[in-house]
Each structure stands twice: as structure tokens, then as C-alpha cells.
Structure 1
Amino acid sequence: MNDIVRTPGSGTSRRPPGLTSRPPALAGTSFKHEHLQAILELPLTEGFFEVHAENYMGAGGPPHRALEAIRERYPISVHGVCMSIGGQDPIDLGHLARFRDVVERYEPMLVSEHLAWSSHGGTFFNDLLPLPYSVATLRQVCEHIDQVQEAIGRSILLENPATYIAFASSTMSETDFLRAIALRTGCGLLLDINNVFVSATNHGFSAEAYLDSFPLEHVGEIHLAGHVEQQDDEGEPLLIDSHNRAVDARVWDLYRSVIERVGPTPTLIEWDSELPAWPELRAHAQTAQHVMSTTHALAEEEVSHHG
């Protein structure tokens, strides 16, 4: 029987099996079929690959053959983009069943989804849309996460969003909302640092202050990605979470500050369009691995020196 989790003021939720296991602190990249042959010729040492679950919900064919070739050699993470966990509609049971089948088929080291909604009234949208941070929304999101975790028999990681608008009706900060979700459902958190930087720029708050308030103790994976810089109608900076270019130097700086605090953590370089050649993408993963190794070593040396 699943353990029961009780937290002050949160009610009761079920903790799915496998929550306490901690995956190795590997650095990986998005897996794109265009890179398959190059990956086989130039391996990613001590890495992993992430795929979007929705691309593998068919029964077979070339997508599965490519992913099976990768899965034979590397751990993978499965990242969902259409569950609409933050939506008002019930979870689509057909989609959830297909998601469960992908997880069972590939036994990923990590499973994740977004704090967002992407469908309404049976219509799916191309965007991951924001939601108000309120008690009512919190209850609904937690019910959806409990349902997903119960269906797949394991915990998921929930990703903080990149946002372009905010709800005036919100009564909680995003970081408090995420902390409450993790405590109520037993899920972990996927900290997307590029999303933090994008949202901070778009809304005019401090990315550093956001990370200071983030429940880092629940983080099971980190995402890094590139973004596009634009201007809004008033000439103010507007960043788009585009995943089509290299990670910004300022995002790398934020990443180093997080690793100093949490230690080595599975880290993924997201790159979904305008793909570079495999050696370039591989080099970004190696940079993340280097940051984890050197930052953690320096932090331990500092502790030892002052101890």
C-alpha cells in the first residue's frame, strides 16, 4: 500500500512508490532523431536524453526504433507537454493511458510535466498557458497530479513555467504554490532556470530573489535552454522561451548559484528547433557536467576550509 503523506494544513494525499530514489547527477540533452547516427559515433559520456512523451504514443515505427537504440545505451527522461495538469477540465483519460504506456515501455529515470494548462473543452492548444495561484487552483492541480502519479505508479517532477502574463486574482506566489504542491502530492520539482530568467525579465522581478524563495529541497532535475529577446508594444524587454539557441550566459550564472546550494543534480539542455550539429549540443551538456563537478568540488573545499 502507498504511504500516506500528511502536511500541516494540506489534508491527505497518497505518496506513489519510488519517490525517494535519487537518480545519478548526469547532464543530458533533448533527443532528436536527426542526431541518432552522430550520437552513436560520438557518444555522450555519462549523460542521458529527454524525449517528449507525445512523440512516442504510437505503437511502433521509426520513432520507437530510434528511441530504442538510445535507450539501449543511455538512461532517458520522459517529459510530457499535453497533460494540462493546470487546466479546469478533468485529465484526459485516453491521453493519460498513452502516457502511462510510454513510461512503462521505456522505464525512464525521470518523468516530468508542466505547471500549466493546454486544453479546454476537448481542444488542445499549442501553448503551455499560465494559471492563477489560488487555493482553488492548488486543490485542482494536486488532484490532477495525484491522478497521474497513481496511474503511472511513480512520482513525477513538476516544471515551473515561463510566463508572459500574470493573474491579478493570484493569492500565492509561484514558489509558495509549487512548494505546497510538492508537500501535498509528494511530487518533485523540475527547476527550469531559463524559465525563471524569462519570467523575471518579462514581469520585472529578480531571478535571484525567485531562486532564493524556491523550494530547492524538492528539485529532482534542472532544465537549461535558450531564449529569444524581443520588445513588447511599449518597448520593454520581452523574452520568449524558444529552445532554439544556446543557453544565455546569465542563465549559466544562475545555474552555478543553484548547484552551489543543491549540489550536482540531473541537468538537461533543451534544444527543440534550429538544431545545431550534435557535437555542439553535446558540448553544452559537457559544460553542465563541468559546472556540476567544479562547483560542487569548490563548495566542498570551502566547507572543509572553514570547518
Structure 2
Amino acid sequence: MTPTAGLGLKSQHYADALASDADGLWFEVHPENYMSAGGPRLAALEAVRARRPLSLHGVGLSLAADADPDPAHLLALKRLVDRFEPFVVSEHLAWSTHRGAHQPDLLPFPRTKAALARIAANIGRMQDALGRRVLIENPSLYLPLQGHDLDEVDFLKALVIKTGCGLLVDVNNVFVSASNLGYAAEAYLDALPGESVGEIHLAGHGPDEGGSALLIDTHGAPVAEPVWALYRRLIRRIGPRPTLIERDDDIPAFAILMAERDRAAAELAALETAHA
């Protein structure tokens, strides 16, 4: 099966995922939720993987930290990769650990030349440990940081050149960051190297509390229409890519998520037809 549009797999949807006959459907999970020796969660994932392609989307390696990735975490991830043979493995361009302390978020950093060298080395360690190419996801940003040497697209391009990694483009993250920091989301997407994009994410966002103009990447709402428009713009330029609907909060019924997934699948199918 060729993966087209997929969903983040949630435990309350295991039965629905197994029962679905949708063409091209695939599922993505955070590997940190499955780093155990056994149990019902791993058994459920085995059952889903027997029928569907799977992607592993990491949230815990802290590649932008000022330290090497945790060897134990890499080993546990390697075991999952070997066991489930995902068609994509990805991580975030962010940090979440410092001197043994773990932060419950994916945090930004100044895009300096030193940070580029350090993160490229950490991506290299990840790829060497897994024996495969990984994709790196662009972040959601909320406030401007000082001290950048490169803009975000140039930083991502440099990581691709230095490490051979690919990109996971989260279109919602682009929209949120562009709104918060005051740049054009369209120009950002147009500048990305299309040949390096291996996966696309679509998710929902919402305003910060108190009526603020700040947008928060909540993963708790349907994909907004401006994000759909950016998605169409991107795939019309670079071609179809496996596309995921992300929903991690206020999770609705499987059928509601599938309706969004089917919309992405229809966009991809229309593009294939136009290029046939």
C-alpha cells in the first residue's frame, strides 16, 4: 500500500483503525508511548501495523539541546524501528532536556552557526544509530528570539545539506509562526527545498487565553481553512507527499478525524489526476 493521507493513532481508536478499509490510510505514533517490553499497547500497535503503514514521530530526543541524544532513548527507538519497520521516522527541531531536567514542551533556540553544527551532529548520531535517514520538523514559534545567524528556512536547508536528513513540513506550524512573528507563510513554504520534503503535517490551532492575538499550536481543533490553502499551495509546487492529520487534544470520534483525512486524500488525488 502506498501511504497517502493518515492519522495520528490514538488508543481509543484502535478498533476503528483496524476496521477501516480506506485506501492509502496510514498511522503515526509517538514512539515514546511504546517504549516498553510488552503489554496491550504494543500488541495493539502490532495489529495495526500488520494492516497499515506506520510512521514514528519522536518528541523526546531533544536534538537542539547542548548535549548528545540520550543513548538509552536512541536504543529504545532503534528497537521500535526494527520491530515495526516504519516508512518514516521523524523528530523535532527543538530541545526539551537540559542537564538531566526534562521540560514538557518543544522549546526554541537561537539559530546560530554553533547551533547548526551541534544539531547537525545530533541528527547524524540519530541517523547512525537507526541506520536510516530521518525527517526533521519545523517548529511553532511564539516570540522573537535574539541572536539568529540564519533564518529558519536557510537553517533547515543547511541541516539537509550537512546530514542528508529530510524535512517534515508542518503547515500549521508555519501558519502559527508566521502569524506570531509577522512574516509571510507563503514565502516560507515557497523557499523550502521540495525534494527534501518527505511528509506533511496538518493540525489545528487557537488563540491564546484572554483574547490575545497570539496563536497557539494546540492540536486540539480542526485544520483551519488558511492552513488548507497553504497546504494546497505547497503540494501544487512540490507534488504529493504523505500527509498526516494531527489531533492530540479534544480528540473527536474516529469518523470526524477521517473526514479531515479524506479531505487531504482528495487533495492529493486531485493533484495526481491533474499531473496524469
Q: TM-score when scaled to structure 2?
A: 0.96
Output the amino acid matched with 1:266: P
Superposed displacement of residue 262, structure 1: 1.0
Q: What's 1:54 paired with?
A: 32
Q: What's 1:257 paired with?
A: 233
Q: What's 1:245 paired with?
A: 221
2:110 is matched with which residue: 132, 135, 148?
A: 132
**C-alpha distance in 1, partners of 2:155/2:255?**
39
Name the Cα RMSD after superposition.
1.5
**C-alpha distance in 2, partners of 1:231/1:213?**
32
Identity %: 46
- Post-superposition Cα deviations, 1:180-234, rounded to whole Å, max 9, x if no partner, equal 00011000000000000000011111111111222222100000001112367xx
Give the unaligned 5+ runs of structure 1. Answer: 1-22, 302-307
Structure index of larger Rg: 1
Output the amino acid matched with 1:75: P
Matches for 1:157-196 after TM superposition, within 5 Å? 157-196=135-174
Matches for 1:267-306 after TM superposition, within 5 Å? 267-298=243-274, 300=275
Give the unaligned 5+ runs of structure 2. Answer: none
Superposed displacement of residue 39, structure 1: 2.3
1:198 aligns with 2:176: yes
**C-alpha distance in 2, partners of 1:27/1:40?**
16
**C-alpha distance in 2, partners of 1:109/1:208?**
28
SS of residue in 1 equivalent to 2:28:
strand
Q: 1:215 to 1:231 in 2, by over 3 A?
A: farther
SS of residue in 1 equivalent to 2:214:
strand
C-alpha contact (below 8 Å) 1:116/1:129 kept by paired residues: yes
SS of residue in 1 equivalent to 2:46:
helix
Output the amino acid matched with 1:259: I
C-alpha contact (below 8 Å) 1:50/1:78 kept by paired residues: yes
* Matched pairs, number: 276
Superposed displacement of residue 236, structure 1: 5.2
1:79 aligns with 2:57: yes
Q: What's 1:96 paired with?
A: 74
**C-alpha distance in 2, partners of 1:228/1:43?**
32
SS of residue in 2 equivalent to 1:221:
strand
1:105 is matched with which residue: 83, 101, 106?
A: 83
C-alpha contact (below 8 Å) 2:142/2:181 kept by paired residues: yes
C-alpha contact (below 8 Å) 1:25/1:264 kept by paired residues: no
Output the amino acid matched with 1:53: P
C-alpha contact (below 8 Å) 2:3/2:26 kept by paired residues: no
